Amino acid sequence: MASGFFTDTTLCIGCKACEVACKQWNELPADGYAFTGDSYDNTGALGGTTWRHVAFIESTPDAPGAPPTMNRWVMMSDVCKHCTNAGCMEACPTGAIIRNEFDDVFIQPDVCNGCGYCVPSCPFGVVDLIDHQVIQPRFASDGRTDDNAVQTHGGVAGKCTLCYDRQKVGLVPACAKACPTDSIQFGDVDELKDRARKRVADLQSRGVDASLYGVDEKTSVGDLNAFFLLTGPPAAYNLPERPVLPSTRQPAGYVSAALAVTGLALIGLALFRRESA
Amino acid sequence: MPGLGTSFGRGGATTFVQDLVNSDCILIEGSNFAECHPVAFRFVMEAKERGAKIIHVDPRFTRTSAVADVYAPIRSGSDIVFLGALINWLLENERYFREYVVAFTNASYIVREDFQDTEDLDGMFSGFIDPDDTTADGQDRSKYASFGNDAAKPVPGNYDTSSWQFETDEVPRYDGNGTVKVPKRDDTLQHPRCVINVMRRHFARYTAEMVEEACGTPRETFLEIANLLADNSGRERTTAFAYAVGWTQHTVGVQYIRTASILQLLLGNIGRPGGGIMALRGHANIQGATDIPTLYDSMPGYLPMPSALRNEQTLADYLKSVTKPTGWWANTPKYVVSLLKAYYGDHATKDNDFAFDYLPQISGDHSTLPTQIAMKDGEIKAYFVIGMNPAASGFNAELARAAMDKLEWMVNIDAYETESASFWRREGVDPTTIGTEVFFLPSSTILEKEGTMVNTNRLLQWHDKAVHAPGDTRSDLYLFHQLGLRLKALYADSTDPKDRPIQAMTWDYPHEDPHEHDLGEPSARKVLMEVNGYRVEPGKPGYDCPQVTAFTELADDGSTAAGGWIYSGVYPDKQTNRARNRTGDEWTSLDWGFAWPANRRMLYNRASADPDGKPWSDRKTYMQWDEQQKKWTGPDIPDFPATKSPHEPAKPGASGVDAHSGANPFIMQLDGMGALFVNGALKDGPLPAHYEPMESVVGNPLYGQQSNPTLREWDRDDNPYNGRENPDYPYVLTTYRLTEQSGIMTRYVPWLAELQPSLFAEIDPDLAVEKSIRNGDWVTIATALGQIEARALVSGRMKPLRIGKGKDRRLIHQIGVPYNYGSLGYATGDSIGTLIPLALDPNVSIHEAKTLSCTIRVGRRTSGPNARVDEPVPANQVSDWGASRPHGRDEAPV
Among A93-97, B150-154, B854-858, the minimum mean pLDDT is found in B150-154
Cβ within 8 Å, pair A15-B63 = yes
pLDDT for B152 = 55
Name the closest residue on chain A to residue B73, using Cα atoms.
A68
Closest CB from A33, A58, A181 relative to B753: A33
Burial B603-628 (b: 16+ CB within 10 A, else e): bbbbbbbbbebebbeeebbbbbbeee
B39 pLDDT higher than 60: yes
Q: Name the minimum distance, in Å, from the CA of B829 to any CA of chain A.
A: 11
pLDDT for A214 = 96
The rounded distance, in Å, linking the Cα atoms of B270 and B604 is: 7
Q: Which of B159-163, B325-329, B451-455, B566-570 shows the highest mean pLDDT?
A: B566-570
Name the closest residue on chain B to residue A136, using Cα atoms.
B750
Query: Looking at residue A169, what DSSP letter applies?
Result: T
Fold of A3-244: Alpha-Beta Plaits (3.30.70)
Tens digit of each residue's pLDDT (9 = 90 or more) over B489-533: 999 999 999 999 999 999 999 999 999 999 999 999 999 999 999
The rounded distance, in Å, linking the Cα atoms of B476 and B105 is: 44
Q: Name the minimum distance, in Å, from the CA of A202 to any CA of chain B.
A: 10
The rounded distance, in Å, linking the Cα atoms of B186 and B181 is: 16
B226 shares contact with chain A (CB less than 8 Å) = no
Q: Name the minimum distance, in Å, from the CA of A196 to any CA of chain B.
A: 14
Residues of chain A contacting B792 with CB distance shorter than 8 Å: 37
B867 pLDDT higher than 60: no
- Name the residue among B635, B639, B613 with its Cα closest to residue B624: B613
Q: Is B451 left (phi over 0), alpha (psi -120 to 50) or beta?
A: left
B66 shares contact with chain A (CB less than 8 Å) = yes
Q: Could you tell me which residues come within 8 angstroms of residue B606 by beta carbon, excluding any fewer than 6 positions away?
A: B271, B623, B632, B638, B639, B640, B665, B667
Closest CB from A15, A33, A37 relative to B775: A37
Cβ-Cβ pairs closer than 8 A, A with B, add up to 133
* Alpha-carbon dihedral B173, B175, B178, B179, rounded to 10 degrees: 0
> What value does the mean pLDDT take over residues B219-244?
97
Cβ within 8 Å, pair B41-A13 = yes
Residue from B41, B67, B812, B817 to probe the interface with A (highest A Cβ count within 10 Å):
B67
High-pLDDT (> 70) share of chain B, %: 97
Cβ within 8 Å, pair A71-B797 = yes
Cβ within 8 Å, pair B34-A15 = yes
- Residue B476: which pLDDT band, with cuts at 50, 70 and 90? very high
Tens digit of each residue's pLDDT (9 = 90 or more) over A224-274: 999 999 999 999 999 999 999 998 888 888 899 999 999 999 999 999 888
> What value does the mean pLDDT take over residues B867-873?
71
Contact status, residue B409 vs residue B436, Cβ threshold 8 Å: yes
Whether the link from the prior residue into B597 is cis, omega within 30° of 0, is: yes
A32 shares contact with chain B (CB less than 8 Å) = yes
Among A52-66, B363-377, B539-553, B603-617, the minimum mean pLDDT is found in A52-66
B871 pLDDT higher than 50: yes
Q: In the CATH scheme, what is the code of domain B712-886?
A: 2.40.40.20
Interface of A with B in 68-87 (CB under 8 A): 68-69, 71-75
pLDDT for B807 = 87
pLDDT for B894 = 55
Tens digit of each residue's pLDDT (9 = 90 or more) over B790-804: 999 999 999 899 999
Residues of chain B contacting A42 with CB distance shorter than 8 Å: 754-757
A14 shares contact with chain B (CB less than 8 Å) = yes
Residues of chain B contacting A139 with CB distance shorter than 8 Å: 748, 825-826
Closest CB from B61, B67, B799 relative to A13: B67
Q: Name the minimum distance, in Å, from the CA of B706 to any CA of chain A.
A: 28
Among A95-109, B145-159, B400-414, the minimum mean pLDDT is found in B145-159
Closest CB from A14, A30, A74 relative to B754: A30
Contact status, residue A98 vs residue A89, Cβ threshold 8 Å: yes
> What value does the mean pLDDT take over residues B612-618?
98
* Burial of B284 (C-beta count, 10 Å sphere; 0-12/13-18/19+): middle
Angle separating helix axes B195-202 and B79-92, nearest 10 degrees: 120
A205 shares contact with chain B (CB less than 8 Å) = no
B739 pLDDT higher than 60: yes
B826 shares contact with chain A (CB less than 8 Å) = yes
Closest CB from A13, A30, A139 relative to B63: A13
Residues of chain A contacting B753 with CB distance shorter than 8 Å: 30, 33
Contact status, residue B57 vs residue B27, Cβ threshold 8 Å: yes
Q: Where in the sequence of chain B do the CATH 3.40.228.10 domains occur? A: 2-110+185-280
The rounded distance, in Å, linking the Cα atoms of B731 and B641 is: 53
- Name the residue among B763, B752, B768, B869 with its Cα closest to residue B820: B752
B434 pLDDT higher than 70: yes
Cβ within 8 Å, pair A60-B71 = no
pLDDT for A70 = 64
> What value does the mean pLDDT take over residues B57-79?
96
Q: Name the minimum distance, in Å, from the CA of B54 to any CA of chain A.
A: 13
pTM above 0.90, yes or no: yes
* Alpha-carbon dihedral B605, B609, B611, B616, rounded to 10 degrees: 140
Tens digit of each residue's pLDDT (9 = 90 or more) over B340-355: 999 999 999 999 999 9
Contact status, residue B1 vs residue B8, Cβ threshold 8 Å: no
3-class secondary-structure state, position B36: helix
- Give the E-state strand segments of chain A in sequence order: 3-8, 52-59, 72-79, 97-99, 105-107, 128-129, 134-135, 138-139, 145-146, 150-151, 157-158, 184-188, 211-213, 226-230
Cβ within 8 Å, pair B751-A23 = yes
Cβ within 8 Å, pair B776-A37 = yes
pLDDT for B95 = 98
Q: Supply angle C-alpha B270, B64, A203, rounded to 5.
A: 95
Q: Name the minimum distance, in Å, from the CA of B82 to any CA of chain A.
A: 17
How far, CA to CA in Å, does B689 sit from each of B124, B161, B315?
9, 16, 38
pLDDT for A251 = 87
The rounded distance, in Å, linking the Cα atoms of B239 and B632 is: 24
Q: Supply angle C-alpha B294, B296, B297, rounded to 5.
A: 115
Q: Is B322 left (phi over 0), alpha (psi -120 to 50) or beta?
A: alpha
ipTM: 0.92
CATH 3.40.228.10 describes domain B2-110+185-280: yes
pLDDT for B138 = 41
3-class secondary-structure state, position B30: coil
Residues of chain B contacting A62 with CB distance shorter than 8 Å: 796
> What value does the mean pLDDT take over residues A92-121?
94
Residues of chain A contacting B794 with CB distance shorter than 8 Å: 37
- Residue B69: which pLDDT band, with cuts at 50, 70 and 90? very high
pLDDT for A224 = 97
B218 shares contact with chain A (CB less than 8 Å) = yes
How far, CA to CA in Å, does B80 sit from each of B202, B247, B254, B256?
12, 10, 11, 6
- Residue B868: which pLDDT band, with cuts at 50, 70 and 90? low
Output the furthest CA–CA distance in chain B (Å, rounded): 80
Cβ within 8 Å, pair A35-B757 = yes
Cβ within 8 Å, pair B66-A182 = no
DSSP, residue by residue, B311-372: T-SSHHHHHHHH--SBSGGGGHHHHHHHHHHHHHGGG--GGGGGGGGGS--B-S--SHHHHH
Name the closest residue on chain A to residue B219, using Cα atoms.
A67
- Residue A149: which pLDDT band, with cuts at 50, 70 and 90? very low
Closest CB from A11, A36, A73 relative to B797: A73
Cβ within 8 Å, pair B740-A13 = no
CA contacts within 13 A on the Cβ side of B693: 34
DSSP, residue by residue, B438-491: EEEEEB--GGGS-EEEE-TTSEEEEE---SPPSTT-B-HHHHHHHHHHHHHHHT
Residues of chain B contacting A57 with CB distance shorter than 8 Å: none
Q: Where in the sequence of chain B do the CATH 2.40.40.20 domains occur? A: 712-886
Contact status, residue A78 vs residue A54, Cβ threshold 8 Å: yes
Closest CB from A42, A60, A65 relative to B797: A60
> What value does the mean pLDDT take over residues B120-149?
66
Distance of alpha carbon A156 from its chain centroid, rounded? Answer: 17
Name the closest residue on chain B to residue A182, using Cα atoms.
B42
Q: Name the minimum distance, in Å, from the CA of B245 to any CA of chain A.
A: 19
Residues of chain B contacting A69 with CB distance shorter than 8 Å: 70-73, 218, 221
The rounded distance, in Å, linking the Cα atoms of B297 and B302 is: 9
CA contacts within 13 A on the Cβ side of A212: 23
Cβ within 8 Å, pair B795-A13 = no
- Residue A65: which pLDDT band, with cuts at 50, 70 and 90? low
Name the closest residue on chain A to residue B35, using Cα atoms.
A15
Q: Supply angle C-alpha B480, B481, B484, rounded to 5.
A: 90
